[in-house]
Amino acid sequence: MDNKQVITLETSLGFAAVGFIDGVIARLWLPEYDRQSLESRVRLWSPRAIRVKNRDVENRVRDYFNRKQVTFADRVDLSCANDFAKRVYTTLRKIKRGQTITYSAVAALAGSPGAARAVGYVMGRNPIPLIIPCHRVVRSDGSLGGFTTAGGVALKKKMLELESGG
């Protein structure tokens, strides 16, 4: 039995979605302008996900993209992540809005100094971007680095600008 649920919402930057397993956030798809493309990504995750309403999560995601201060203290499902990835994701959740951190600093805080490349690999597979704010991680030279979403680095830049008031 498929115990997955999903909400789809429109933000100022396009259409986004949040996936739940047994009511716990397990996926988040950042905004993209093509709703059909987003819907096909959701179907890849679960072709039979039940459409639900969760006004609280919907409003906070929408508010984030409208430059409002929101918090995402929600429980998240990381059952598919290995121990290293869980440590990286836990570390990322401590990075505050408007702050950035380097890949190497994340590795050190996650208990694996010198594992900056591994941090990048884990972040590229982050199932819950925004709530696990991988967009706040930059290269040691201050450049943005990569961002594995439909919006790419341009979306990462926009999210950092939203957070800094730019």
Predicted confidence (pLDDT) per residue in 91-140, tens digit: 999 999 999 999 999 999 999 999 999 999 999 999 999 999 999 999 99
Catalytic residue among 134, 155, 159, 162: 134
pTM score: 0.93
The Cβ-side half-sphere exposure at 36, using a 13 Å CA radius, reads 0
C-alpha distances in Å from residue 10, one per residue of 53, 88, 130: 13, 29, 15
User: Catalytic site residue 134?
Assistant: yes
